[in-house]
Structure 1
Amino acid sequence: MSKQHQAADATPGSVVVWIGFVAMCVGMFMAILDVQVVATSLPTIQSALEIDPDRMSWIQTAYLIAEVVAIPLTGFLTRSLTMRWLFFTVICLFVIASIGCALSGSFGELVAWRVLQGFSGGTLIPSVFSAVFILFPNERQAVATTIAGVLAVLAPTVGPIIGGWLTQTYSWHWLFLINVIPGIVSAIVAWRTLPRGTVDRSEIVHLDGLSLVLMATALTTLELSLTDAPTSGWSSVYVSSLLAVFLASGCIFVWRSLRRSRPVVDLSNFGDRNFLVGAILSFILGIGLFGSVYLMPVFLAFVRGHNALQIGTTMLVTGIAQLVTAPIAVALEKRTDPRLLSALGFGVFAVGLAMSAFEDPRSDYDALFWPQIVRGVAIMFCLLPPTRLALGNLLPERVPDASGLFNLMRNLGGAIGIALIDTIVYTRSGPLAQSLWDRLQSGHADTAAFVGAPVRTIAGHTGAFDVDTTAMLDPLVQTAASVQAINEAWLVVAILTGCAVLCVPFAKRVSPPR
């Protein structure tokens, strides 16, 4: 359906279209928020449902796998059901699944509902970003992208504080029940205000089932391998087998999709140079964005010993910086080459990430404040201009598929970034701890200050410590080694994020909306 035809179906005046779009954004916000609020309260859920510790991660993994499979299907589902029907259907499923999660009495029930919740939530994000370029003319797209972008990056920031507060004040059931009222309201509003379209049954009739299975297999095995690799080892039989299945099914899926006239996912979008550059930028943004949102709670919880509410309060700084910067980003995007803004955004974001690579075991709110400010200022410039580069010049009928791929790249970047971070933390903590012991035993005063060891214990000392001193120093050394490993992870993520600047010159010029 053409952009003009959909716009013509709307009630005269753009207010109705905006109301429908905001309703879609609310649904997207709830889907992204759900991942974060649940993550903060996994121990509480584990205790309540008596879940084995080694199975607890599946509460999140089940959601993320279903989400990553659903994201690239958004284009097919939009063509089949229309934007209005798709959003209404998936937001209703998301609400039903949320209620099911809250009422679950066992591990199996909860995981099953999380799969449905993840699949329905996964289609909401790309649906919103494709709506920007389908529902609005060029001069309104920057504002629409900003609304969607602010909510998309604000949800992970406020998630910990909301999750911590709900769990401490009420119970874990409310982590899911908070989705019900906003979900119902957004479903009703979107149903009444989004442009009507005609369901295309031919898309369902011509669905390539084998390609669908291959894509789901490839994405599922990739997600599982990235989840297990840091602890099991990248060369373990289990992880190697998963990666082999991923490569085989992924290659067959790509080969089959490129040969079909109606592929499940239109991979030919990667043939557009600007979309390819935008997708790479989205992938790198996933590494930096998901990585920073992951590393902050890890440091604050395991090093500083803060609870979920304290972590959320600290991380709120980034969200406030994003909100303050958003109007500036919109104004600049209307007047500036998106390539320049993208380079600026990723460069500043990389600096903000690198600023966090110099923490010590006593770093807290004050030390984390300015790095968060810098990252918060940069994030909107890493999201809005690359979105325009990727989707701004595509024909309206290509936007839903392209939006799914664009958002999938960000999620895959996040998954790979977190796996890389875990690998660094797991593998580097031991050698770094040994290095700290060596320097302490040689009487290195600066090392003692970093670790937090009493100077009198180290001063003038050479050789091995006695049993009592070793027992006293060991927890300090282990914590300091973890901090150093986390610092190395920050630095690696910063370098990878900075590499995005090298990709920008390959994009063709895109005229900013007037």
Structure 2
Amino acid sequence: MAESIQHAPLQGAARAWGTVALSAATFMNVLDTSIANVSLPAIAGDLGVSPNQGTWVITSFAVANAIAVPLTGWLSQRFGQVRLFVGSVLLFVLASWLCGLAPSMAMLIGLRALQGFVAGPMIPLSQSLLLASYPRALAGLAMAMWAMTTLVAPVMGPLLGGWITDNMTWPWIFYINIPVGMIAAFGAWSIYRHRESTVRKLPIDTMGLALLVVWVGSMQLMLDLGKENDWFHSTMVVTLAVVAVVGLLFFLAWELTDKHPVVDLSLFARRNFWTGTLATSVGYGLFFGNVVLLPLWLQQYMGYTATWAGMVTAPVGLLALVLSPVVGKNIGKVDPRRFASFAFIVFALVLWMRSHFNTQADLTAILIPTVIQGVAMAFFFIPLVTITLSGLPPDRIPSASGLSNFTRITAGAVGTSIATTVWENRAAMHHAQLAEAVSQGSASAGSALAGLQAGGLSAEQALAQVNRLVDQQAFMLAANDVFFASAAIFVLLIPLVWLSHPLRGRAGGSEAAAGAH
């Protein structure tokens, strides 16, 4: 049996320090998904490559991490949850140190892939170990406290990465993991080493693992390369898509018939698992796509600097930090389906407000929906993962957490690609419609061009200036379209949550897990 049944909950200082150690490791992991984003120009310049090649620093981490996360359940049964967690943290520290020392971009990309792969088990196992540390009545609150680290980290990443790049050198975005990781590994080993889960010598499902690498790797590469290669007009993108689909079909057939599958797909037979996972993944994909789109629009078409765009998106964590403990405390008393429905309504409201933005929107108008979105985040992750993991025996929680986190991470990547692609396609359409008004026969267009030329611009410069204004309006209207469509999909997600079975009594609270990032 698993450690949750063998061991009583931790008490006092041991429980507090255990929570700190697990949360520190999670914070470090989540921070690394976003800290390098703003440092890419500095890294690319220092290693002598183009910024486009520099994006592989992000991509390689994401691909390897997506492959490793669903392996958590199988690895934890083979090596033990505590040994796997501490080993994962120590290997992450080593990979971070080597990333900072990388002499070339090819070496850095390879080491970032290693860093992403060894990071895979950290988040699912921190959930599982933390659930075993608290009595059932306090588990919802424990997961809410843990969730706060995952809400702060993505906001801190770009701000900290920018400051380090400006004031130190880029390798320090990796070196800062070393003290945090060593403290987390030492703390976790000191407190949990006597609480190891039972190890089973499972055979290695090499075919399942190979198929997982093939289809996930192909899909992630398709998403990353699609936009710059005009999606399915590119032979390379079509090939990657075919490999991903065929690989997925073979993977499903193999895993569902293998005696010791590397990923436990039988979890999808449970109604609460598939409804919770699907609602979390679609909701997170919508959220993440819009999180990426907003700063892009602000920087490219509203004149915001990277720092100010970061500052506008940062307040999303404020109300989430305040309300998460409240949600955690009450998750056993209130039907989590009610909380999740409320989150979807607030998300829809926020995106509906953003769909009314215009090019005259000031800082206050842009900040208000961002602050309100923190309410939705607090009511989103904890109730949905409570539903997802409800009714599962403790020994299946690492597998379930790993699989649900994998689908959420993948949905985030898909959501980003869809949001940015739809944004650009809709902008092209709006640009064509708006440009029709700028013709020889249009009085307003003629007077605008005449005014610009009277100000000293040539005819070509005046037309270029008008084209920039049309561009700004087109991308504004396209952003409004994406925001409105996202709001509508959030409303449509509400019935999905109610397909899950109601949780009986307070039991559901003990399975709460904040799969925030």
Same fold (TM over 0.5): yes
Which of 58, 61, 69 matches 1:60? 58
CA distance in 2: counterparts of 1:440 and 1:216, whole angstroms: 51
Give 1:364 deviation, angstroms. 4.5
1:185 corresponds in structure 2 to 183
Contact 2:138 2:329 in 1 (8 A): no
- Asked whether 1:497 is paired with 2:490, we answer yes
Between 425-434 and 92-101, the greater mean CA deviation after superposition: 425-434
Q: Which residue of 2 aligns with 1:336?
A: 334
Q: Which moved more, 1:285-294 or 1:344-353?
A: 285-294
Asked if structure 1 preserves the Cα contact closer than 8 Å seen for 2:289 and 2:416, the reply is yes
Moved more, 50-59 or 174-183: 50-59
Structure 2 counterpart of 1:2: 2
**Corresponding residue SS for 2:436:** helix
Question: Residue 482 of structure 1: which of 475, 479, 483 is its match?
Answer: 475
Identity fraction in percent: 29
Aligned residue in 2 for 1:509: 502
Question: Which 5+ residue runs of structure 2 have no aligned equivalent?
Answer: 453-457, 508-517
CA 1:174–1:148: 2 relative to 1, 3 Å: same
TM-score (norm 1): 0.91
1:147 aligned residue: 145
Counterpart of 1:358 in 2: which secondary structure?
coil
Moved more, 390-399 or 312-321: 312-321
Deviating above 4 A after TM superposition, structure 1's stretches of 4 or more consecutive aligned residues are 3-6, 440-445, 453-458
Are 1:209 and 2:206 matched, yes or no?
yes
Are residues 137 and 393 of structure 1, via their aligned partners in 2, closer, same or farther at CA, if it must alter by over 3 Å?
farther
Of 366-375 and 490-499, the range deviating more from structure 2: 490-499
Q: In structure 2, do the counterparts of structure 1 residues 329 and 471 end up closer, same or farther at CA, with 3 Å as the change threshold?
A: same
Aligned pair count reads 499
- Tell me the secondary structure at the aligned position of residue 506 of structure 1: coil
Is the 2:312–2:370 contact (alpha carbons within 8 Å) kept by the matching residues of 1? no
- Choose 208-217 or 487-496, whichever is displaced more: 487-496
- Superposition pairs for residues 276-425 of structure 1, below 5 Å? 276-425=274-423
Q: Name structure 1 gaps, 5 residues minimum.
A: 459-464
Post-superposition shift, 1:333? 1.7
Determine the C-alpha separation between the residues in 2 that align with 1:71 and 1:415. Answer: 15
Which amino acid letter does the alignment assign opposite residue 421 of structure 1? A
Give the corresponding residue for 1:80: 78
Tell me, yes or no, if the aligned pair for 1:286 and 1:412 is still in contact at 8 Å: no
Say if 2:277 and 2:407, in contact at 8 Å, map to a contact too: yes
> What is the letter of the counterpart of residue 418 of structure 1?
T
Residue equivalent to 1:107:
105
**Alpha-carbon deviations, 1:9-28, whole Å to 9, x = none?**
x7x62541342233112111
Q: What is the deviation of 1:189?
A: 0.3
In structure 2, the residue matched to 1:162 is 160
Q: Distance in 1 between matches of 2:5 and 2:497?
A: 34
**Pair 1:307–1:89, CA change in 2 (3 A):** farther
Equivalent AA in structure 1 for residue 271 of structure 2: R
Distance, in Å, in 2 between the alignment partners of 1:284 and 1:234 is: 22
Superposed displacement of residue 44, structure 1: 1.4
Q: Which residue of 1 aligns with 2:195?
A: 196
1:462 alignment counterpart = none
Taking structure 2 as the reference length, what is the TM-score of the superposition?
A: 0.90
Structure 1 residue corresponding to 2:430, chosen from 426, 429, 432: 432
Q: Distance in 2 between matches of 1:327 and 1:380?
A: 9
> Retained in 2: the 8 A contact 1:70–1:123?
yes
Give matches, 1:442-461, under 5 Å.
457=451
Residue identity matched to 1:218:
W
Alpha-carbon distance in 2 for matches of 1:489, 1:358: 11
**1:246 shift after superposition:** 1.1
Alpha-carbon RMSD: 2.4
Q: CA deviation at 1:510?
A: 0.8
Structure 2: which amino acid aligns with 1:227? D
1:290 and 1:158 map into 2 onto residues whose CA distance is 16
